[in-house]
């Protein structure tokens, strides 16, 4: 059985050419026409989907070929396009850039081919005229199995400039037209931070700016022609249900455990697919704020995702009550899983670029120090070296790293070899006591590029923290293991 899903990949010639602006503008304009738009982001990025979500008041899902695999990509796409009139898939980096310099693994092109989706190529046309045709022809002819169906020019200087670009491309290939563009508008640019775009909260991205770009797309881009291209995409075969758990699975197990999800200005990097898998395994997700809340909610485990704790370090440090609550939760044996920014929060302090050390929770005997230069970037594969709150030893899953901080162990850190079972829970010593705190490296982490292996995954009693942003489509046993640990702690609490 197959299903017709109108769809279009919005790809770029490189990073920074305006893929997110074009995707948001087109999505906003289509929504204004009354269409239901499903949005997706190729690759591991957390920030671009926040812009997508604001554009259509919905959820955007990541599609990553290397971390998820083909089956999970197809099933996620099928599940999240149910009821949609059209799907837009924003690419990552340049169209053919991915996990390897010699293959398409992890690239936008790989996802487009899996989805049998036509591609609209976004070109930064500033300072360009006839050369646009040479650039487009190179991309269009690079992979005959991929259909580049339209061109959208960004940073256009004027209507006259856009006409020149159209004529140049039409003279070379009329079947691959420039279907419009977006004018240069520095005042309406999306704000940036060291990870690229800033999170699209109301302060960074007011509704008026979204409406502005939607209106620009309606005025400058041939939306009817783009929709015609999207609707011409062939029907997709039905995806397997096993790769993406749905509402029926979640209903059968609902109520196994409650997991506290750190979610506020400092912590918000979560894959929607990961959260759905926790719910399908029976977890109820309860949001709390390490910045604003003085008490933890009544939960059986904590999940601290990534974000910008360094930006909000002073406010996190000021909330001593919540930091104490988390230490006490760990002391009662409560499972705590943390990724990247969550790991930084669990250390003794975050040292910001101005040299100031801001006290944090103190469950990991180290300091997270911000650096001027990027400290890690790229895909990784993890193998657990001992039983953790995610499951038994030998568990493998994939993820990625992107960080500007490094971990500096404190004097009270006592490295120990991974043990067969987690250490029994006990009240963690306060960082101010300088009492020794044993810590295990429970992960073996292999880099996708280069193959270097390092030890990571910081475990102390019921805590597991890492710089790795994991995608659990790579191993569905991981979210099941986390929920099982939370459910076991619930039973312990009930005794």
Catalytic residue list: 340
Rounded to whole angstroms, the Cα distance separating 171 from 177 reads 10
Q: What is the DSSP string of 365-394?
A: EEEEEE-SS--EEEEEEEEESS-BTTBSTT
Nearest to 361 by CA among 341, 347, 340: 347
Residue 259 phi, psi (nearest 5) = -115, 125
Q: What is the DSSP string of 227-296?
A: HHHHHTSPPEEPPPSTTS--HHHHHHHTTSEEEEEE-SSSEEE--HHHHHHHHHTTEEEEEE-TTT-SS-
Nearest to 121 by CA among 164, 162, 91, 77: 91
CA distances from 205 to 2, 47, 133, 219, 264 (A): 38, 12, 34, 21, 16
Nearest to 135 by CA among 147, 121, 146, 120: 121
For the four alpha carbons of 162, 165, 170 and 173, in that order, the dihedral sign comes to negative
Q: What is the DSSP string of 130-165?
A: THHHHHHHHHHHH-TTS-EEEEEEEEE--HHHHHHH
Question: In angstroms, how far is the first alpha carbon of the chain from the final one?
Answer: 50
């Amino acid at each position: 059985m197959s299903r017709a899903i109108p769809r279009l990949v919005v790809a770029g010639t490189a990073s920074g050419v305006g893929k997110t602006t074009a995707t948001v503008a087109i999505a906003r304009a289509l929504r204004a026409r009354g269409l239901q738009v499903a949005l997706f982001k190729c690759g591991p990025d957390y920030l671009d989907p926040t812009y997508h979500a604001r554009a259509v008041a919905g959820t955007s899902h990541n599609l990553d070929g290397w971390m998820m695999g083909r089956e999970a990509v197809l099933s996620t796409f099928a599940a999240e396009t149910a009821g949609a009139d059209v799907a837009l898939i924003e690419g990552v980096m340049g169209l053919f850039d991915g996990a390897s310099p010699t293959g398409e693994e992890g690239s936008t092109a790989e996802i487009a081919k899996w989805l049998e989706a036509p591609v609209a190529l976004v070109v930064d046309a500033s300072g360009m005229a006839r050369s646009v045709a040479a650039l487009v022809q190179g991309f269009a002819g690079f992979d005959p199995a991929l259909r580049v169906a339209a061109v959208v020019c960004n940073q256009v200087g004027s209507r006259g400039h856009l006409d020149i670009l159209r004529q140049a491309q039409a003279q070379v290939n009329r079947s691959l037209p420039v279907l419009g563009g977006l004018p240069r508008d520095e005042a309406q640019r999306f704000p940036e931070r060291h990870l690229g775009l800033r999170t699209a909260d109301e302060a960074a991205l007011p509704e008026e700016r979204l409406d502005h770009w939607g209106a620009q797309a309606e005025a400058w881009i041939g939306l009817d022609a783009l929709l015609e291209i999207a609707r011409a995409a062939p029907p997709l075969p039905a995806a397997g249900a096993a790769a993406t758990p749905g509402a029926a699975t979640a209903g059968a197990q609902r109520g196994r455990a409650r997991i506290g999800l750190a979610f506020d200005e400092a912590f918000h990097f979560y894959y929607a697919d990961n959260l759905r898998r926790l719910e399908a395994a029976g977890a109820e997700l309860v949001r709390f704020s390490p910045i604003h809340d003085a008490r933890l909610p009544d939960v059986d485990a904590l999940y601290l995702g990534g974000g910008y704790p360094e930006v909000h370090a002073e406010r996190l440090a000021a909330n001593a009550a919540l930091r104490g609550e988390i230490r006490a939760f760990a002391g009662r044996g409560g499972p705590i899983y943390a990724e990247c920014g969550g790991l930084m929060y669990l250390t003794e302090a975050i040292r910001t670029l101005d040299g100031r050390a801001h006290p944090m929770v103190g469950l990991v005997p180290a300091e997270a120090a911000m650096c001027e230069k990027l400290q890690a970037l790229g895909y990784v594969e993890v193998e657990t070296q001992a039983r953790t709150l995610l499951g038994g030893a030998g568990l493998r899953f994939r993820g990625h790293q992107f960080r500007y901080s490094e971990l500096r162990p404190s004097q009270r850190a006592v490295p120990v070899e991974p043990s067969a079972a987690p250490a029994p829970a006990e009240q963690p010593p306060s960082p101010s006591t300088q009492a020794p705190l044993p810590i295990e490296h429970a992960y073996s982490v292999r880099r996708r590029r280069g193959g270097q292996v390092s030890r990571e995954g910081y475990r102390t009693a019921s805590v597991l923290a890492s710089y790795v942003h994991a995608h659990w489509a790579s191993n569905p046993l991981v979210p099941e293991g986390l929920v099982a640990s939370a459910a076991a702690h619930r039973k312990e609490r009930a005794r």
